[in-house]
Amino acid sequence: MLDKRSPLFAQTHRFVTVFPARLLRHDEEMGLSTLYFAGGELRVPMVESAVGTAIEVEIDARDVSIALSRPMDVSILNRLPGEITELEVLPPPFARATLSLGDASLYALVTRESVERLALVEGLRAWAMIKTVAINGRLLDPETAPRPRRWPSPERTSSRSR
């Protein structure tokens, strides 16, 4: 096992966030699927499963960037607001940030220079930009994946207002 103090540790050790997600919909025209997880929605290349399927998702910390303001003019589809809950200094040049995205946490592997330049600290609100999401093919029990909150139907809303 590689010593955590070794300079090669962050380059060879994968920090991966794994969580359950539910397949919400497919966009055939764009070749994309939308997944719902405890931290929001993710757009990913088309997943060959039925809508409603619970699947396991993996995000490598090397595929996550951090922005201090809402990223607008970027090609990255998955941009989620969050808060930095932990910063761990690793052997140079890396640091690992843990971001809270509501009910989910996500790792980002960034350089120490980025931590200093952006003045990243625990408690800071930031945006996670996720370049790649891996679907590992593992199907889950449907009860393990979160369900999006349903909007009230017009019938339920009107009956409550009476």
Q: What domains does the chain contain, in order, with CATH numbers? A: 9-141 (2.40.50.100)
pLDDT score of 3: 55
Q: What is the CA 84 to chain-centroid distance, rounded? A: 13
Give the per-residue pLDDT at 108.
98
Residue 155 CB neighbour total at 10 angstroms: 8
For residue 13, what pLDDT is reported?
62
Residue 128: burial class (beta carbons within 10 Å; 0-12, 13-18, 19+)? buried
Q: Please give the pLDDT value at position 36.
A: 96
* DSSP-derived 3-state class of residue 92: coil
CA 143 – CA 151 distance, rounded (Å): 20
User: What predicted TM-score, i.e. pTM, was given to this entire model?
Assistant: 0.83
Low-confidence ranges of the chain (pLDDT < 70): 1-13, 153-162
Strands (E) located in the chain: 16-27, 32-37, 40-45, 54-60, 64-67, 78-89, 94-100, 105-111, 125-130, 134-139
- For 61-83, give the DSSP string: GGGEEEESS---S-S-SEEEEEE
How confident is the model at residue 155, as a pLDDT?
Answer: 65
State residue 150's pLDDT score: 75
- CB-CB neighbours of 146 under 10 Å: 16
> Which of 50, 61, 52 has the alpha carbon at shortest distance from 94?
61
